[in-house]
Structure 1
Amino acid sequence: MYRDFYGLKKKPFELVPDDEIIFMSEGHKEAFSTLFYGVIERKGFIVLTGDVGTGKTTILRLLKRSLRKRCIIAMVSNPTLTIHDFYMYLSSLFKLGSASRAKARFMIKFQELLELKAKTGIHVVLAIDEAHLLSPEMFEEIRLLSNLGMDAGAALTIVLVGQPELDHILSNSKMRALRQRITIRYHIPLFRPYDTRRYIIFRLQKAGARRLNIFDYDAVELVHEYSKGCPRLINILCDHALLSGYAANKIVIDADIIRDSARELELAGPASQKRKGFFGRLLGM
């Protein structure tokens, strides 16, 4: 609706992930490098955490694409599966055949797979998204799976990805056996103000914007404050602001439009309102 008005070839702040449009902040780069190192070095367990909407799943997809010639990476995105369904799903992901859907049969076939891939130099990675939703019983099943990797000569890396409460869950004394196998942890930080500005410009560029000053400096600062530096919330707020700006026939998104959009989206307000925006002060404006 607003694309022609703002000179855009497509909507810049879509929520649907697009592997061709990946913005890498310093935090994202470090998260990716940490996971990449952990897999290449064949670490047993890796834990990646981050708040909702910070790009954890995007990092996982990028890792899978980057290592597709060196590893077999299977991703489980539904952590609420029953134990039976979990093994059925893994059998499908690792192409072990329908006969391997029973747990005992799966263990035998999966051990054979790990040993075969170890001989050919191919590493096996099991990545579990939304791992903070796993049941205690499922955590134990995953720990037992890691035993097979150890028996096959460090042939398996398990990556647990989840919200910050995952760290709290793993700190429980009942998780001691699994926790002792975790060799790498990383938490994706929220964007800094500078990251938010770069992100908005990046998304506008990828959308084919003819001009990059669609959002003025004070508007960008407010986007950061309302979103707390969360990429998903930045997308939601900026998309709403563009629609509101179009409806108001404003070619520049200013602070007032951001405030109105944030109020309609019921986003918590900034801790304080400054007379002059951060980016304005930074640039002497």
Structure 2
Amino acid sequence: MPTPLFGSLAHRPLLVVALLIAALLAALPAAASAQQTEPPRLYWGSNDTVTVDGQPWDGSTIQVIDEDDTVVATVERESMSWSVEIPNDAGAFRFRASNGSLSELFDPPKSTVEENFILTIGSVTVERPTREVALVAGWNWVVWTGHTQSVTDVLETFPDTSQLTVIFERVAVGQRWSSYRPGLPARVQSIAELRSGVAYILIVDSALTWEMPSDGDLTGTRTIAAGFSAIGWAGPDATPQEVLDAVADPGAVAAFFRWNTATQMYDSYRPGLPARVQRIDTIRPFDVLFIHATSATTITQ
């Protein structure tokens, strides 16, 4: 009796399994290759070859931003050198120093490796968008709308620092205040930087107009702590109810207050009370709301 082409019928299932395993093993290298992602673009060089506005780099933060001003990477600094990995999908990019100075625009191919790269920041002048902030003599609640910067760099945009008495920040976690007082040593300051979208109190001696940078990202989710939290409103004109709708747990909000620079007093809104006793009917962009919450929650804008 002739032998079947693939052996006996009893052995056929084993043969089929063996063939399937062989096919899978043969396909593994191709599958693994398909799943591999291209390495990011890598830049590195000596710290001594980095200049910012014509001066040697002082080690302050350097970010990489895309054409929409979105931060895509941050330069890592070692004792003698620096490096940064930039995602391939970032597209064209610039290096940005903490004072806002920019490098030229780069748009290299994917997986580029630049060794001993000489980084020059400040070679390109790009006008930062600004908004006009009217400050009155006395207390002013403001939302910092620039990107996160050191206080020193922020004050370079301030019209007259001799008129600035103090900057306060409400720290919701811990229910305390931080401050920066011009002229005092760094060791006694508790505010090192102004963060994009965060609310601050500025006390000034005379009325000023501040052309505040407005290139920061104010959107996202912020924490409202149990107690009092200062929240900058980044949305369009809104009613108090629309603000409450942006809170994860509106029932946690007992009241919110808005500083009235004209009267140097707080106006208030208390959910559930009749309209005739409310003192806030419209919230405008960059208004600061001092929110009293009975329990922790969040607000998303």
Shorter-normalised TM range: under 0.3
Question: How high is the TM-score relative to the length of structure 2?
Answer: 0.23
Higher helix share: 1
- Larger-gyration structure (1/2): 2
- RCO greater where, 1 or 2, for CA within 8 Å and sep 6 or more? 1
